[in-house]
Amino acid sequence: MNVAVIGITGLVGNIMVDILEKRNFPVSELIPVASEKSIGKKIEFKEQKIDVRTIQEAIQLAPDLALFSAGKRISLEYAPMFSEKGTTVIDNSSAWRMDPNTKLIIPEINAHTLSAKDKIIANPNCSTIQMLMALAPLHFRYKIKRIVVSTYQSVSGTGAKAVGQLENERKGINGEMAYPHPIDKNCLPHCDDFTENGYTKEEIKLIDETRKILDDPSIQVTATAIRIPVLVGHSESVNVEFEKEYNLNDIPEILFSFPGVLVMDKPGDNQYPMPINVYGKDEVFVGRIRRDFSRDKALNIWVVADNLRKGAATNTIQIAEYLIRKNLI
């Protein structure tokens, strides 16, 4: 299978290449794609060094699969050009997520909705993916009525520029700023741009994407997204209210039985998920599982995952693996 990776020199693009190799994805030809400034560079894949190409060259090659991680503008412009060539596109940006004709996919939850006609497939926001990996199995059992989520998101979610800002600040270097304030020794209640209603775009994504993926517009969601001085790994405090009553003792088993979710919940032994635990892992970790005594049928959980892997690169490649297994590409 000929596979193009668009934005291959970025944080997520690099990890995509690593995952393609480690999961033995059936790549007959890798087509590395990046901006003009990266032309001349080489990407190493399966002990081969491969020249980076322009996106126009990649379109003409009409690959079987194009994995996009180059931002909304690039995806809006070029994803349709690939799909017109018969290429299946899986896009990591926000460009197509809320398009009514585009599927928004977390494979463990709703991959069954995909068909061969889906030539552009959207990968959800990293925060949405990890939250719904924890909530979907509970929703299937008890039906979610309302979600209150606060996120604590690492700087890698913003990109390489933000990682550079944090590293420079820790070294006492005045460098390029990704954020309007220092991030080291600080936390910013500001992920993405603010909208007219006072919520940030990141918070709106959590609301809209949850309803679309679970196919339930009745679910009430409110979110606060916070950027913290951690390099990799997003954390979330999630309060969820169900339609049905639940047995607290059943919750860990329900979560642990869901593919891709691991329970780490022994607070008496200081065992609970933290970003340092999840770095480089593909699973979503859940802990601090406890009843909310202030509301009926409500639960508190703490959810942590590597935002560059399951929150982006791994989820993308899992979608592609599903398409192959079901002969949809």
The residue among 120, 69, 131 whose CA lies nearest residue 98 is 120
Do the bridges between strand 144-153 and strand 234-242 make them parallel or antiparallel, or are there none, so unpaired? antiparallel
Longest CA–CA span in the chain (Å) reads: 60
Contact 127, 200 (CB under 8 A): no
All residues at 6 or more sequence positions from 263 whose CB lies less than 8 Å from its CB, including other chains:
252, 255, 256, 285, 286, 287, 289
CA distance 82 to 66: 8
CA distance 166 to 233: 14
All residues at 6 or more sequence positions from 84 whose CB lies less than 8 Å from its CB, including other chains:
none
Dihedral over Cα of 183, 179, 204, 275: its sign: negative
Chain centroid to Cα 272, Å, comes to: 21
CA distance 187 to 100: 35
The residue among 8, 51, 5, 3 whose CA lies nearest residue 25 is 3
CA distance 126 to 232: 12
Total length of the chain: 329
Which residues belong to the active site?
A: 126, 234
For the purposes of burial, counting CB atoms within 10 Å of the CB of 217, is it exposed (0-12), middle (13-18) or buried (19 or more)? Answer: exposed
